[in-house]
Amino acid sequence: MGYAMSRFEIESEFYDAADTVNQASNSRSKFKKPLSALDHEIAQLTKLKSEPKEHFSKEVPGKRHLPVSTVKMLAGREGNYSGRGRFSAADCCHMLSRYLPVNGPWPVDQTTSRAYVSQFSADGSLFVAGFQASQIRIYDVERGWKIQKDILAKSLRWTVTDTSLSPDQRHLVYASMSPIVHIVDVGSGTMESLANVTEIHDGLDFSAADDGGYSFGIFSLKFSTDGRELVAGSSDDCIYVYDLEANKLSLRILAHTSDVNTVCFGDESGHLIYSGSDDNLCKVWDRRCLNVKGKPAGVLMGHLEGITFIDSRGDGRYLISNGKDQAIKLWDIRKMSSNASCNLGFRSYEWDYRWMDYPPQARDLKHPCDQSVATYKGHSVLRTLIRCHFSPVYSTGQKYIYTGSHDSCVYVYDLVSGEQVAALKYHTSPVRDCSWHPSQPMLVSSSWDGDVVRWEFPGNGEAAPPLNKKRIRRRQFYL
């Protein structure tokens, strides 16, 4: 140990320099305010989850600065500077979160159909990808990304709009522009799952008895943490909750004044539901008081255009949303108002995100009643419902936000500082969705070019193989 400690300062400086080189090409985004001055509770919570304890970094020899190099962290553990003889969860996050999955990409799959959905399972052992050509594939990550289940969807309208894997990984549900959601047995021995040919894809009817037979589409679909319920957002401006044990629709809320593009549960309890819509609003619903009020617990204003996706931090307090105003917003539901009292008025420009670029005169506009905690810009939200996510708890302490983009890239932002810490460039068409492995420095992106690829750090030590670029036939309408 004496020899190692005598070289401690030299080696730590070397590794700090290497970390700097790894991120030297990263660019910075422009924000509505400098996020380095973000004075909010979430900044402190993020630091507590992703930075080494203060007494640890003070006891380690050398000048105190962040990030603490891996060599210093290891030496500190061996010297038991923390008093615990091991790394804390925050110590692990501090080391792992610096190794961003930016190397590659390596191919997972290449198809001739647009990829719409990417999703790791909760433990990272499985990966789900959904394509426009009625195809959903489940890959076994731990067996070299072999296809475990190749699903041909039933009664598909337009595309697979969303999928969700049950918490026990036994079932997968998929949705399209239809009120019928189908459920597939993931654990069956059949790899080729052709709807009602090789396997039964049971249909869950989300239409209500009093809707007059109106057909609507489902944009967003999520399992509850206990796997007993599904929540869905639809094109008829409603939120639906389906009780899987009772096999019936248990709740229908006329939630917004336009399409509900995204929904999710706010925490493990299942009481809170977040929704986002083309009416520009995020809403918070508390099911414990819906029978009394029938109204949302609160409304979050700040987006100037429709909301494409919402991701919950999982604590029943914070969420992020992606918007057609080309921005991600971070929200604290304690800042919500009881109703949407702020009238934006009529915009002075004509714009449709499905086929037009965002107007230059709109880029600097601000919502007069913006309740968001922070805004992140640099990516592009056009043509389709681009998705954004918090980075994993285990490996990063949720210190990053990442998103797909119309400009064919994946962008990673530092939640607290607002820096754009990575831009992953490979695809030739919009990246609609991407997913970060829950415990490894690995990210998978799926694009309208039909490619599903993975990014890693440090990779397998080999150069990424060349991937064939394909031209995907364009259609007139988009989701």
The span from the CA of 153 to the CA of 155, in Å, is 7
pLDDT over threshold 80, residue 117 = yes
Q: Which residues pair with 337 in a beta bridge?
A: 299
What pLDDT band is residue 12 in, cutting at 50, 70 and 90? very low
Do 49 and 416 form a contact (C-beta atoms < 8 A)? no
At 215 the pLDDT is: 83
The span from the CA of 52 to the CA of 74, in Å, is 12
Mean pLDDT taken over the chain: 85
In which order are the strands placed within the sheet that holds 229-234?
A: 218-223, 229-234, 238-243, 248-254
Parallel, antiparallel or unpaired: strands 180-185 and 202-205? antiparallel
Which pTM was predicted? 0.86
pLDDT over threshold 70, residue 445 = yes
At 29 the pLDDT is: 40
Highest-pLDDT range among 29-33, 217-221, 466-470: 217-221
Question: Looking up tokens 């589409």, which residue turns up?
Answer: 217
Which whole number is the average pLDDT over 148-152?
95
Q: How far is CA 35 from CA 38, 388, 426, 479, in A?
A: 5, 19, 29, 32
Do 224 and 231 form a contact (C-beta atoms < 8 A)? yes
At 290 the pLDDT is: 84
The span from the CA of 389 to the CA of 412, in Å, is 10
Query: In this structure, which amino acid lies at residue 189?
Result: G
Residues 209-261: tens digit of each pLDDT: 666 556 899 999 999 999 999 999 999 999 999 999 999 999 999 999 999 99
Nearest of 263, 241, 257 to residue 181 by alpha carbon: 241
Residues 178-207: tens digit of each pLDDT: 999 999 999 887 889 887 778 889 999 999
pLDDT over threshold 80, residue 124 = yes
Residues 295-340: tens digit of each pLDDT: 999 999 999 999 999 999 999 999 999 999 999 999 999 999 988 8
Q: Which two tokens stand for residue 336?
A: 């919500």
pLDDT over threshold 50, residue 3 = no
Residues 388-423: tens digit of each pLDDT: 999 999 999 999 999 999 999 999 999 999 999 999
Which whole number is the average pLDDT over 430-457?
97
Query: In this structure, which amino acid lies at residue 244?
Result: L
Which whole number is the average pLDDT over 68-90?
71
